[in-house]
Amino acid sequence: MDAVLSNFMKLLKSSGLKLYQDLTKSTEKYIRRTRFKVGLTITLIVFVLALIGPWVVPYPDEGAGYVPPEASLREKKPPSLTFFFGTDTRGRDLFSRVIMGVRSAVIQIITVIMLSLAIGLVAGILAAYFKGVVEVVLNYLIELFISIPAVIIALVLRLALGPGLLTVITSLVVTWWSWYARVTYVYARSVMEMDYVTLARLSGLNPLKIMSRHVMRNVLTPVLVQAVTDMGSVLLEASTINFLGLGLPLNSPEWGVIMYEGLSVLEIAPWVSAFPGIFLLITALGFSLVGDTLREEMDPRLRRRWRLWF
């Protein structure tokens, strides 16, 4: 009787454990899918607004920075049916300026990510392939540039080049290429230890072909996923540089610039800084959700990292 009861309890325990594992797996999968759908929806809306923004806003000239003569009569108007987000400190339609700022945000993100990826991939693969002096020098440069804040670079470029999009992009690329070089270097080092790479090197294959055919193909996917995850961080850094007055000039349709313009009237007209800030956070969240989900799908060990919180 005791043996039968013991076997029954073991069966019940194993069935309960299996049920718990199935429910946990289904819940995690649903959360990942929901999170990805939300992030992808936000990202698609952002890119669509970047394309059609100038044609859907009610005041495109004001969105681009133009101050009409009658604007002084409607400065700091609160949100209404006429001005959805209210007006800014100079009487311009804030909704038009925020929507027009989507294109500026996308241009900065895509340009910085593409240039940083191109430089980082080349530097990381070269550091992993060539041992000795080349590896030491490149790793030293990577650690050097990755430790320099983008704001410091932007300050120097602001003094040398003046305000503008070039200052923002250059300051971010100077710091972000080293991050992708480090990520590429880590993945490339593991690829270099594979047998097919060793055989290719022993057979006398051209190093350029080995790096492009065997190494680049195997490190490109995880690095691209990391780039999608970093888009939100790049946007936040770009907006910070512009908010501090080190990037794009005043009156530019850029979220950081608009928030800076509303800083002086934060107590009486908080919507001037609030709406571009909300768009900034939602956009960064969308990129982060998509990137994190893709990264978790590539590395199953990350799927259960939430358990470490408890």
Q: Where are the domains of the chain?
A: 51-63+80-302
Closest CA to 113 of 274, 284, 228, 260: 228
Q: What integer pLDDT is reported at residue 30 of this predicted model?
A: 52
The whole-number pLDDT of residue 18 equals: 44
Q: What is the CATH number assigned to the segment(s) 51-63+80-302?
A: 1.10.3720.10
Cβ contact 94:248 at 8 Å: no
Tokens of 56: 């859907």
Ordered DSSP codes for 120-166: HHHHHHHHHHS-THHHHHHHHHHHHHHTS-HHHHHHHHHHHH-SSHH
Tens digit of pLDDT per residue, the chain (310 long)?
Answer: 555 445 545 443 454 444 344 444 545 565 667 888 888 899 999 999 999 988 988 888 888 888 888 777 788 888 888 888 888 888 888 899 999 999 999 999 999 999 999 999 999 989 888 888 888 888 899 888 888 888 888 888 888 888 888 889 999 999 999 999 999 998 888 888 887 777 877 777 777 887 877 788 888 888 888 898 899 999 999 999 999 888 888 888 899 999 998 888 888 888 889 999 999 999 999 998 888 888 777 665 545 544 443 3
Question: pTM for this one?
Answer: 0.82
What is the model's pLDDT at position 15? 44
How many angstroms separate the CA atoms of 285 and 288, rounded? 5
Q: Across-strand partners of 87?
A: 93
The neighbouring-strand residues paired with 93 are: 87
Q: Is the Cβ–Cβ distance between 96 and 102 less than 8 Å?
A: no
Dist. CA 210–CA 140, nearest whole Å: 24
CB within 8 A of 83, min separation 6: which ones?
74, 77, 93, 94, 95
